Amino acid sequence: MTADGRPPIWVNVGSSTSVLDGYVNFDNSPFLWIAEWAPWTASVLPRKYRRVIDAFRAAKARASVRRRDCRRPLPFGPGEVDHILCSHVLEYLYPPDMRSVLGEFHRVLRAGGTVHIILPDLAYMARRYVHGRVDADEFQRQLMLHPERGESLVLRLLGLWNGFGLTHQWMYDSATASDRVARAGFTVTDDLETPSSFFRADDDASLHVVGLKPSP
């Protein structure tokens, strides 16, 4: 319970199949729509896409998940939300869209509320390449800035349906990600526990930025 005696509102934006119990889970994947409304179409899709649809069906059995484009306003009033987790989503957006999404997080969070942003760590990837742990091909696969085999018709259709590309649009290191979160009005902190502190905690390839919405 919160200090005013109500259940906390925790939101998982761009959950994919990593839905969390006790959270309002949002995702915009077309595969979520197929899992909900047209599971029969999975039979005509390649196996790799059928696996994703099956994973969404399993996720929906674990926790509630709603389809929503994270660039649209969240369905909450100002200051209604206590915590937001946004993991491996913002790198798929162009920087202006990222700034808009962070601004929306700031709007819906209460004073003292927290946002937990997780992103691929560009610095980690670059170090592995510079030190010879991966070659140039693998480095670029990890960056995901372009489809390795070109844009297939399926990728183009999924991108149109999803509303944005399925490749990374911008990459961040800890300093640039923290700067974006701070510019959105949050106090960036390294030592604050949040309800999602456990999430991807052992993933060395991801960076974590926690922002606290200060009191007015």
The ranges assigned to domains in the chain are: 10-119+171-212
- Distance separating alpha carbons of residues 189 and 102, to the nearest angstrom: 16
DSSP H/E element including 26: strand 23-27
Prediction pTM value: 0.91
**Is 3.40.50.150 the CATH number for 10-119+171-212?**
yes
- Distance separating alpha carbons of residues 67 and 161, to the nearest angstrom: 12
- Closest by CA to 14, choosing from 141, 118, 125, 148, is 118
Segments of the chain with pLDDT less than 50: none
Chain segment 153-203, per-residue pLDDT in tens: 665 665 555 555 578 999 999 999 999 999 999 999 988 999 999 999 999
Take residue 46 and report the two structure tokens written for it: 């390649």
Q: The tokens 């889970």 sit on which residue?
A: 25
- Closest by CA to 106, choosing from 1, 211, 208, is 211
- Phi/psi at 88 (5° precision): 50, 55
How much is the pLDDT for 152? 62
- Distance separating alpha carbons of residues 65 and 58, to the nearest angstrom: 11
